[in-house]
Amino acid sequence: MAVEKNTFSFILIVLPLISCCVSLHTQEDSGYDFRAFPSYVRLIEGVKLHNSSKIEIGRYSHFNKYRILAHNFGAQGDGSTDDTKAFQKAWEEACSSSSAVNVLVPKGKNYLLRPITFSGPCKSEITIQIAGTLVASNDRSDYSKDGRHWLLFDSVQNLIVEGGGTINGNGNALTFDKCTNLEVKNLKIKNAQQIHLSFEKCMNVEASNLVVNAPEKSPNTDGIHVTGTQIIQISSCTIGTGDDCISIVSGSKKVRATDITCGPGHGISIGSLGSGNSEAYVSDVVLNGAKLFGTTNGLRIKTWQGGSGSASNIKFQNVEMQNVKNPIIIDQSYCDQSKPCKEQSSAVQVNNVVYQNIKGTSSSNVAIDFDCSKKYPCQGIVLQNVNLGSAKAECNNVNFKNIGTVMPYCS
């Protein structure tokens, strides 16, 4: 039976987490007066995400949106039938709609997908509600052309991905590339072969209420990866993987993370930066409120020798760590390869970093490790009200300031 376009019931599947309509707070909002130490920290200005010409995410109710059902394009949702083509056709229908669209992945259904790209720009706002499960193909030949991506949203604006369902990355990453005004929330993402959720060159993003899980020994399975992305809020996420819970790398600016639970994994990392003698920049990062349990690292900044650029205006505050091997670490001699790295004098400059209200325990005898460059020492490092117990601090080539109680103490 033919289906009228304006009565289309719309069910599609979508993946990662992105979000817009986020307002980054000023640092005064966090309870720390940066103006008291202007030589150490510069204010991160509040950011207004939308101007009057942009569509505001969430202003349409789900009931007023045009709906599409992937089943009308042949999707089975039985977990064994390849539903990739059906999803591609459903996306094309949604993307070409001049009215706001709601794509629903129903509860109780399992959609098997090979690598697929959902391309924009689209004509209107799209909401993808994943109540069921998206499952990646486990046939490795499906990834022979592109081993980095499974579900890729490319150049899409005004997109919401939500719904309480599951993205089972039996394959590779869930990726948003060059997307603007994105919201990803209320999803479970698990068992990716590499990075679980990646935001690449995006703008105005919100990722919230996400649960990301992979085995502790799984390699390169970062939870949320941020690269070349500006104005992003990550909030109320629980992440346990075999690599960084959150990794923030070059080109990222105005990143705010709140209410993060991390473990197992490698902690929360800025970097690595400057590999292969490259130029890298990260700035205006605030982590406010996190709990880390049994991770390899806690709060880490890592850069390669030979790089250039900077990691600046970074604040870690209100963080609790239990049984963390390296609770606070800046490593400007990072070397992630089998043979020793060549010693080089150039480095990515690390400056204006604040650690405030940090407490917990270290599973090693070194709780604070600042291993900075001789030629480009770490500048403007502030530790305020830090208590990591009786472990020691090792501080090389660092310009620091202690405020309040700081344990252990850099001497």
Query: Which residues fall within 8 angstroms of residue 303, CB to CB, at 6 or more apart?
Result: 271, 272, 273, 274, 280, 311, 331, 332, 334, 347, 348, 350
Sign of the Cα torsion 203, 269, 233, 224 reads: positive
- Among the listed residues 187, 201, 191, the one whose alpha carbon sits nearest the alpha carbon of residue 153: 201
Question: What Rg, from alpha-carbon coordinates, does the chain have?
Answer: 22
Catalytic residues: 266
Number of other CB atoms surrounding residue 63 within 10 Å: 7
Angle in degrees, CA 129, 135, 136, rounded to 5? 120
Asked if residue 42 lies in contact with residue 136, where contact means CB atoms within 8 angstroms, the answer is: no
Burial pattern 260-293, b for ≥16 Cβ within 10 A else e, equals bbbbbbbbbbbbbbbbeeeebbbbbbbbbbbbbb
Number of other CB atoms surrounding residue 378 within 10 Å: 25
- What CA–CA distance (Å, rounded) separates 328 from 261? 17
- Among the listed residues 244, 269, 272, 255, the one whose alpha carbon sits nearest the alpha carbon of residue 348: 272
